[in-house]
Chain A
Amino acid sequence: MPDILPAGTLHDAAILAEARPPAARVLLDLWRPLRALAALLCFSFLGPFAWRQDFSHIDARAVLSAPSWAHPLGTDVLGRDELARLMQGGATTLSVAAAAAAVAFVLGLTYGLCAGLGNAWLDRALMRLLDAVLALPSLVVLICFSALMQANDTAMALLIGLVAWPPLARLVRNEAAALRHRDFILSAQQLGAGPAYIAIHHICPAMGRLLAVNATFLVADAILSLTSLSFLGLAIQPPRTSWGQLLGEGVELLALHAWWLVVPPGLLITASLFAADSAGRALLFGRKSA
């Protein structure tokens, strides 16, 4: 066998096949969990085109009215239409969470690659620091920093991203440290490729699935952090709103039994977390588990 094929060809082809599942397969894996996510995205971003009520329009004659034809999900304490508010809140929640996940993804990937591909002492120092960071309670850190700063969307996305990256960094580091001694990396090094080139063109594609899985988990994590913070009134400020903030407003009115202010945002938060989580699971274990 080794005489027929040039050394390494078969091996590299096998690695590529293992590392990159066909695009169609990935799409098939993702379709079921992504249906839920697509529905939530449509609700939040396309919904306002179908349901043309202003989410911030105050109507003093319809304060806390129960669901009706005019207001399918009722109105809040200022008479604002709850359905329109849920749509606007969804757009804010999902876009800020996606931005936060992107920040965490870039940070975690860079940190993990530096640790996994750098020399031994750099690796050790970075991993010790990572352990120390991982031990901090992230929600407490988030509460503290969000009390200190102006809570606009960009700042929120940066803050949540800055807190969410450590688990990804550890995974990337372990994977990169395992990959760096494989034949295809060594041969790239022999050909004169620098560390940055190898990291971008060889290591990252080889752990594509790991990155995709953890990107979806990061989105779930960011949604959880953002909804928790805005539930506590520390993230998205009025007049704009988010699912967490809507739920928080509903909780303050629990004594009035305004269930329509509590159940829909709670279910939407749960559904978005479930969708992001199951997309990750489907990527990780294949279609069956979704």
Chain B
Amino acid sequence: MRAACGRMAARGAEAAASIILLVTLTFVLAHASPGGPAYAIMGLKVRPDTVAAVDHQIGADTALWLQYLTWWKHLLQGSLGTSYLLNQPVTGLLLGYAGRSLLLQVSGLGLGVILTLAGGIAHGKFYDTRFGRLLGAIEIMFYAMPGFVIGTFLALLCAGLLPSSGIADLHHAAPSLADRLRHLLLPALSLGLMTYSGLARYLAEGIAAELRLPYTRTALAKGLGPWAILSRHVLPNALRPLITLLGLSLPALAAGSVAIESVFAYPGLGWLLWRSALSHDYPLLIGGVLLTGLATILGNLAADMVNTILDPRRLYA
């Protein structure tokens, strides 16, 4: 128990260090934006005396360490400034888009787990047959494809069958649930295929290795059917390392979803981040980087903690 607490404390400290680094990085970014904050607020044609006035008003003429402390103060109060383009507070904007991103991530992950289980079990069960090798080739093909290529090809294949942009049909004021689901399907499936390509191979090799062990022969001799052996004995053993891998693949999935949201014009956090980068809307961009960075760091931390509870061997690794 003490070892578990120690490890969790160490991981917590590590995550805190990452967060401090992230906040410092965004501070540097805010100061590196072309021309400085006054130009960013007033536009590039502003007069020099106005620049001085704005700098004084927002405190940009004080010492750098003082500004750094103010940066932290504002963050802790949850205020991230105002978006130049949309003229709304960044915090509220981000939270609205983050909800849609979360919906996409969760449904993508759900589809991914289903695909991984189905594909991985089939591949593991028929590991040495032609069917198994075909499944392996499919896994490798998707593994080499970045998420946005998978998304693009899906959109091309399903053109006319399924909508490939937005979250609902624009012609209806109040879109139905079915319509929303139809719009969610392709981006979620792209994310699901990314998850599948990373995990199914491990599951298949785990199952194939377990099936070669003597205890499965014993179970067979006892008279258990092949599917009962698989579900009751082999799967629990083969699934455990998969949870670790799932946790490890979350950051890649979050990164992949930025490009996938841009393929399908899905208005989530990644899409917002992308648009604000293209239009040089720095407060929104920096807010988005902070929020996605924070989500990644905390997600990693949570995955690691769950792993430590599930698999005590990691404590002594």
Contacts and interface: CB of A to CB of B under 8 A. Distances in A.
Interface of A: 128-129, 131-133, 135-141, 143-148, 224, 227-228, 231-234, 247, 250-251, 254-255, 257, 259, 262-263, 266, 269-271, 273-274, 277
Top 5 A-B pairs ranked by shortest CB distance?
A147-B277, A139-B255, A274-B144, A135-B18, A132-B18
Contacts of B278: 147, 232-234
Nearest to A234: B277
B18 A141 contact: no
Contact of B152 (A128, A135, A251, A257): A251
Contact of A232 (B29, B32, B149, B259): B259
Contacts of A273: 144-146
B144 A140 contact: no
B64 to A, nearest CB: 18
B32 A148 contact: yes
Given A132-B18, A143-B277, 20 more contacts: A129-B21, A132-B20, A135-B296, A136-B25, A137-B255, A139-B255, A140-B255, A140-B292, A144-B29, A144-B285, A146-B277, A147-B277, A224-B146, A231-B262, A232-B258, A254-B155, A255-B159, A259-B156, A269-B149, A270-B144
A247 B293 contact: no
Nearest to B288: A140
B292 A247 contact: no
Nearest to B148: A231
Contacts of B38: none
B263 interface: yes
A139 B258 contact: yes
B263 A251 contact: yes
Contacts of B300: 135
B145 A270 contact: yes
* Highest count of chain B CB atoms <10 Å: which of A138, A143, A145, A273: A143
B124 to A, nearest CB: 19
B21 A136 contact: yes
Nearest to B157: A259
Nearest to B301: A135
B289 A141 contact: yes
B297 interface: yes
Contacts, number: 128
A274 B144 CA distance: 5
A247 B152 contact: yes
A224 B150 CA distance: 13
B267 interface: no
10 contacts: A132-B20, A137-B296, A140-B289, A143-B285, A144-B285, A147-B276, A147-B277, A148-B33, A262-B156, A270-B145
B251 interface: yes
A170 to B, nearest CB: 14
Contacts of A136: 18, 21-22, 25, 293, 296-297
Given A228-B146, A231-B259, A147 B280 contact: yes
B98 interface: no
A271 B140 CA distance: 11
A228 B263 CA distance: 11
B277 A254 contact: no
A145 B285 CA distance: 10
A275 to B, nearest CB: 9
A78 to B, nearest CB: 20
A193 to B, nearest CB: 34
B61 interface: no
A132 B144 contact: no
Contact of A277 (B144, B262, B286): B144
A148 B280 CA distance: 8
Interface string B233-267: 00000000000000000010011001100110000
B14 interface: yes
Interface string B138-171: 0011011110110011011001000010000000
Given A148-B29, A247-B148, A132 B289 contact: no
A266 B292 contact: no
Contacts of A269: 145-146, 149
A251 B155 contact: yes
Contacts of B274: 143, 232
B297 A143 contact: no
A234 B279 CA distance: 11
B17 interface: yes
Contacts of A129: 17, 21
B106 to A, nearest CB: 18
Contacts of B288: 140
B2 to A, nearest CB: 22
Contacts of A140: 255, 258, 273, 288-289, 292-293, 296
B146 A131 contact: no
B36 interface: no
B29 A145 contact: yes
Contact of B289 (A144, A234, A266, A277): A144
A13 to B, nearest CB: 34
A231 B293 CA distance: 21
A277 B140 CA distance: 11
Nearest to A277: B144
A257 B296 CA distance: 36
* Highest count of chain B CB atoms <10 Å: which of A131, A132, A146, A231: A132
Contacts of A132: 14, 17-18, 20-21
B258 A266 contact: no
Contacts of A224: 146
Nearest to B289: A144
